[in-house]
Chains A and B, each alone.
Chain A
């Protein structure tokens, strides 16, 4: 009897945990379709309306800021993925003095608090006159996420049999040809996964964008949303609809990469 009660108890705790994880964002989604009446009593009649979304898409800066974020994220991908893929190949296939020192040098910066990085970056950016440049912001994202992308792809290269390299070598492939024609097609899954992670991390960033972008026309969507909340604190309908729109790309991307993430995080960091 007590055993059975305990079983029920465990399930109740589990159910509570599920509710805790699901309700906050589902509530945001639900109420974003509630017109301007977002604080209506919970059990009142619900008439779905798209008015908040219409307002956000037609009358706010969110669509333009969405585009700005996409530009920054695209630059981050364009810079980080080819460069990190080459580096991953290098760390996996080349033997040279100081290899592991260099590799762990990249990894250790992951310990740095982002807030510690922002202060000197602010000064680097003012030296380089790079403020309000979305491509430069993308390069910063590329740098911040470089370690993760390299780690991910290097592990993948490590698990490709060396026999492939040797065979290509015997057939007269140069090092670059081996990389490009033989190995690169095989690591595409890791390339795709790193791309997803770089994109999601860049899309989520508030801190870097808020200090490196000062002109409101160049705001990324996170900074723009925060500014919008500051200016229109009471327009919850529009704020919630914007929040839902902002989260769509990263949630979608994350859903695609979830399985892979676990393998990387639990095995990849192990070294």
Chain B
């Protein structure tokens, strides 16, 4: 893996030159008359659209497709798609002692009738919203800071990103250690404010404590994405704003953020999916406790399946979670398509 860095660099250059060459080829071969075909799905990658049609005649046999894509699809169907569909099926059955019986919507009715569902739903929304806002603010702050050519940015950047590369268990361990009695947080708070709350064993403080750890773990992702976006803004644009005497905040809100709106939306969508479904860090720090104070939906699903062994109710819950994430993510996706 030692050659990884430079090899990737080469790839970047190759990629850029490849794009332009590819454009030339397809543009040269493209007869005008074929452009008008009513194929909306091809409008998006309009380059080489005719070329595609020609190729389909020459080599578009299903056999070839099967040979190249088949192996990946076999694995995908067996381990992702089939279980996912089965999961939905299980949610309509009652599974106990190896005997499955169809119960219709009973599992869903049981879930919607239980108080834990609404408390877990609230905790999931609370967790997702706070973590996303926190990660966005920390990531944006860091990206703005590191967007300036300072000596710190060069040496600290790789270190800043470490939390994202850590296994969930390591992140959870580091924070549990920080929050533990006589740990660093305790020592600092005691000397500054004279208080020493028991973070992870307090029902009111456990959730904020876990949220802070969650922000820490995921902020590097926002940082990397937003920094990449900010660095793509043309300097002239910012200089023009400066000449016009725009204030820093004004530049951020009126120029920088709108310019990187696309990157921002992708970041937020991925962040939403990952955060709402996040399991490792919370579970490994608190198992959902104390007194269910951190029992977000993913944790509840896991406990229902592997502690109470109620697989069918857990399946129904995971379908509900998927629907919630979809409901939250689809408008954002639609917005992205519109821009």
Contact = CB atoms under 8 A, between A and B. Distances in A.
Interface of A: 6, 10-11, 13-14, 17-18, 20-25, 27-28, 31, 38-39, 41-42, 79, 83-84, 86-87, 89-91, 94-97, 99-100, 102, 105-106, 109-124, 139-140, 142-144, 146-147, 150, 156, 159-163, 175, 186, 188-190, 192-193, 196, 200, 203-207, 211, 222, 225-226, 229, 236, 239-240, 243-244, 246-247, 250-251, 253-263, 265-266, 269-271
A271 B269 CA distance: 14
B69 interface: yes
Given A24-B216, A192-B8, A251 B166 contact: yes
A220 to B, nearest CB: 10
A38 B152 CA distance: 30
Contact of B164 (A23, A42, A254, A256): A254
B122 to A, nearest CB: 18
B173 A18 contact: no
A256 B158 CA distance: 10
A239 B8 contact: no
A231 B48 CA distance: 61
For the complex of A and B, the 7 pairs showing the least CB-CB separation, nearest first, are A189-B11, A90-B68, A116-B318, A143-B79, A120-B83, A254-B165, A87-B72
B253 to A, nearest CB: 15
Contacts of A263: 12, 228
Nearest to A225: B169
A260 B12 CA distance: 8
B72 A175 contact: no
A41 B186 CA distance: 10
Contact of B322 (A90, A112, A222, A244): A112
Given A190-B11, A247-B170, A254-B161, A41 B1 contact: no
Interface residues of B, number: 115
A71 to B, nearest CB: 17
A100 B41 contact: yes
Nearest to B87: A120
Contacts of B1: 192, 196, 253, 256
B137 to A, nearest CB: 9
B338 interface: no
B263 A266 contact: yes
B315 A119 contact: yes
A163 B25 contact: yes
B68 A206 contact: no
A83 B60 CA distance: 20
B134 to A, nearest CB: 10
A79 B78 CA distance: 14
23 contacts: A27-B184, A39-B182, A41-B187, A106-B80, A109-B76, A113-B301, A113-B321, A139-B79, A150-B72, A189-B7, A192-B7, A196-B4, A203-B167, A222-B168, A240-B173, A243-B169, A243-B170, A244-B170, A251-B165, A254-B164, A258-B224, A265-B267, A269-B270
Interface stretch (B49-57, B103-111, B199-207): B49-57
Given A90-B65, A117-B80, A18 B302 contact: no
B165 A84 contact: no
Contacts of A256: 1, 4-5
Nearest to B16: A159
Contacts of B142: 14, 17-18, 21
Interface stretch (B112-120, B233-241, B272-280): B272-280
A219 to B, nearest CB: 12
Nearest to A116: B318
B120 to A, nearest CB: 12
B71 interface: yes
B8 A193 contact: yes
Interface of B: 1, 4-5, 7-12, 14-15, 18-19, 21-22, 25-26, 41, 44, 48, 51-53, 55-56, 59-62, 64-65, 68-69, 71-73, 75-76, 78-84, 86-87, 90, 138, 141-142, 144-145, 152, 156, 158-171, 173-175, 177-178, 180, 182-184, 187-188, 216, 219-220, 224-225, 227-229, 248, 262-263, 266-267, 270, 273, 276-277, 279-280, 284, 298, 301-302, 305-306, 311, 314-315, 318-319, 321-322, 325-326, 329
Contact of A119 (B87, B152, B165): B87
SS of B interface (majority) = helix
Nearest to B86: A120
B159 A17 contact: no
B79 to A, nearest CB: 3
Contact of B79 (A140, A186, A188): A140
- Which of B41, B165, B188, B322 is most buried by chain A, counting CB atoms within 10 A of its CB? B165
B183 A39 contact: yes
Given A20-B216, A86-B72, A120-B86, A115 B15 contact: no
Contacts of A121: 79, 83
A115 B299 CA distance: 8
Nearest to B73: A102
A147 B321 CA distance: 21
A251 B165 CA distance: 5
B145 A17 contact: yes
Contacts of B81: 105, 109
Contacts of B10: 189
A28 B122 CA distance: 32
Given A113-B322, A258-B158, A142 B173 contact: no
B177 A260 contact: no
B95 to A, nearest CB: 9
Contacts of A200: 165
